[in-house]
Amino acid sequence: MSNEDFDFDLFVIGTGPGGEGAAMQACKGGLRVGVAERYRQIGGGCTHWGTIPSKALRYTITSTMNVLKNPVFRELGIHASPTMEQLRRGTEAIIGKQVSMRQSFYDRNNVPIISGQARFVDENTISIDEGERIRSRSFVIATGARPYHPSDVDFAHPRIFDSDTILQLEEKPSSITIYGAGVVGVEYASMFRNLGIKVNLVNTRSSLLEFLDDEIVDALSYHLRDQGVVIRHNESVDRIEGHDDGVVLHLKSGKQLKTDILLWANGRTGNTDDLGLENVGLEPNGRGQLEVDEKFQTAKSHIYAVGDVIGYPSLASAAYTQGRAAGMHILGRKDGNLRINDIPTGIYTSPEISSVGKTERELTAACVPYEVGQSQFKSLARAQIIGATVGMLKILFHRDTLEVLGVHCFGANASEIIHIGQSVMNSKCHNLEYFTETTFNYPTMAEAYRVAALNGMNRLF
């Protein structure tokens, strides 16, 4: 068909990181791009309900409580108990700045944003709010995901929350039960415990965050328990009772946990239920997610899907990269040049966790002869100065070639520190000697790489 038969070369559904990445990549490549957004503002769940508001709240809680715990303030007799509203006060300003900045990207590149719910009418046509019809050669579905709501949990109860609604919590509770110990669950467990709230963390599996390196998992588990979080593994819900004075979680093991509020953090559902996918022959899985190939194409080759709507790894950073990769593929750059499988994990507990590359478990299973270099943050001058001595950096490397195979960090600024290791792993000089032969600023947290590399070298014989 000729260009006159289509309104756009690419039409993107959703303006979160995945949609933005696809739209910007395609329009920079000369394609006519349009975008639909059903919410009143752009940015998606990342900006309005997930990453930005939760990380802004985490930062406020951490910085505020660090100040209040400072011995100097204690000596001055300064005691305070900030309300949830006070802690949340700066979040809206940050969201506003993010929306304004992202709106400027679309404006500068002449990408129209059409407000309303997009639904497929046929393989090349969508309708907006059952009205205006738009035809496009290609589509990118970047509609994100929402918290999974089982039918037998009363989310209308004022004491039962999910990971979206918990951000609007009005009163600071004295206790909370978090059901689900994935990334969201452990982040909120850490956040609420920093506020002095009693936390029950209920895990449906045998270990926390099993995809991480075992030593990092052990460190996280120890640190959460050391802070006072009660972790219960291998549990599953039987029923939940909401009362006027609290919520009772009945577990199939027979245990009963009563706390002021309950946060359901067990899974997410892809936002695909109102897209008219039946009209194009696409069927989501049981969690509303779309299956895609390595180029992010669905079963219909001109319809792509990126971000949380396709499931793992469900990271804003990954969504943006996936969107760009889909845009490149639509532009004909079928080989791509993005490291879509080189995505670091960033978990914003207190302290943070971040990792990239292989774990010890994976290398052992693959019979790779590796060695470990470690640096404990308590030995770093910078960590001592800023009072962030909890944590460690470990480097996994091939004992024969010295190739860096994985980097894992638990501690302050881990999500920033990890990128040094990531860069070295993808450089021409991707072996341990980069760290031993490079001069690092002193005192810094990054110095942990030199310490860990020398520690690893000392293990060789």
Q: Is 184 annotated as a binding residue?
A: yes
Q: Is 180 annotated as a binding residue?
A: yes
Residue 153 lies inside a defined structural domain of this protein: no
CA-nearest of 229, 148, 243 to 192 is 229
Q: Is 291 annotated as a binding residue?
A: no
What is the model's pLDDT at position 1?
58
Query: Do 394 and 306 have their domain in common?
Result: no
Radius of gyration, alpha carbons of the chain: 24
Q: Is 237 annotated as a binding residue?
A: no
Q: Is 182 annotated as a binding residue?
A: yes
- Range of the structural domain that residue 296 is part of: 3-146+269-330
> Residue 311 sits in a domain of what CATH number?
3.50.50.60
pLDDT tens digits, one per residue of 325-359 = 999 999 998 765 577 778 999 999 989 999 999 99
Q: CA quadruple 453, 455, 457, 460: dihedral positive or negative?
A: negative
Write down which residue in 266, 294, 312 finishes a domain: 266
Residue 249 lies inside a defined structural domain of this protein: yes
Query: Do 276 and 140 have their domain in common?
Result: yes
The mean pLDDT of the chain is 94
Query: Do 186 and 233 have their domain in common?
Result: yes
Read off the amino acid at residue 175: S
Question: Residue 87 and residue 56: Cα distance in Å, rounded?
Answer: 9
Mean pLDDT within 186-213: 96
Residue 337 lies inside a defined structural domain of this protein: no
Q: Is 308 annotated as a binding residue?
A: yes
Query: Do 260 and 394 have their domain in common?
Result: no
CB 134 within 8 A of CB 126: yes
pLDDT tens digits, one per residue of 7-38 = 999 999 999 999 999 999 999 999 999 999 99
Query: Do 65 and 100 have their domain in common?
Result: yes
Q: Is 187 annotated as a binding residue?
A: yes
* CA 229 to chain CA centroid, nearest Å: 22
> Residue 371 sits in a domain of what CATH number?
3.30.390.30
Residue 313 lies inside a defined structural domain of this protein: yes
Residue 343 lies inside a defined structural domain of this protein: no
Q: Using CB atoms within 10 A of its CB, is residue 320 exposed (0-12), middle (13-18) or buried (19+)?
A: buried
Strands of the sheet with 352-357, listed across from one edge: 345-347, 352-357, 404-411, 391-398, 370-376
Three-class SS state of 282: coil
Q: Is 412 annotated as a binding residue?
A: no
Q: Give the other-Cβ count within 10 Å of 429's Cβ.
A: 10
Query: Do 312 and 357 have their domain in common?
Result: no
At how many degrees (to 10) do helices 183-194 and 51-68 cross? 30
CB 177 within 8 A of CB 294: no
Residue 440 lies inside a defined structural domain of this protein: yes
pLDDT at 79 over 80: no
State how many domains the chain has. Answer: 3
CB 405 within 8 A of CB 395: no
CB 135 within 8 A of CB 7: yes
pLDDT at 449 over 60: yes
Query: Do 252 and 206 have their domain in common?
Result: yes
What is the model's pLDDT at position 336?
56
CA-nearest of 334, 336, 281, 345 to 312 is 345
- Percent of the chain with pLDDT strictly greater than 70: 98
Query: Do 181 and 117 have their domain in common?
Result: no
Phi, psi (degrees; rounded to nearest 5) at 32? -80, 120
CB 354 within 8 A of CB 346: yes
User: Among all chains, which residue has been given the structure tokens 């006070």?
Assistant: 86
H or E, element range at 264 = strand 261-264
Query: Do 365 and 283 have their domain in common?
Result: no
Query: Do 452 and 438 have their domain in common?
Result: yes
User: Concatenated DSSP letters for 327-370?
Assistant: HHHHTT-TT----TT---EEE-SSSEEEEEE--HHHHHHTT--E
pLDDT tens digits, one per residue of 132-174 = 999 999 999 999 999 999 999 999 999 999 999 999 999 999 9
Question: Residue 152 and residue 181: Cα distance in Å, rounded?
Answer: 20
* Residue 256 structure tokens: 């009963």
Query: Do 138 and 276 have their domain in common?
Result: yes
Query: Do 250 and 289 have their domain in common?
Result: no
What is the model's pLDDT at position 337?
56
Residue 345 lies inside a defined structural domain of this protein: no
Q: Is 181 annotated as a binding residue?
A: yes
Residue 211 lies inside a defined structural domain of this protein: yes
Question: Half-sphere exposure of 234 toward its Cβ, with a 13 Å CA cutoff?
Answer: 2
Question: Residue 37 and residue 286: Cα distance in Å, rounded?
Answer: 24
pLDDT at 5 over 90: no
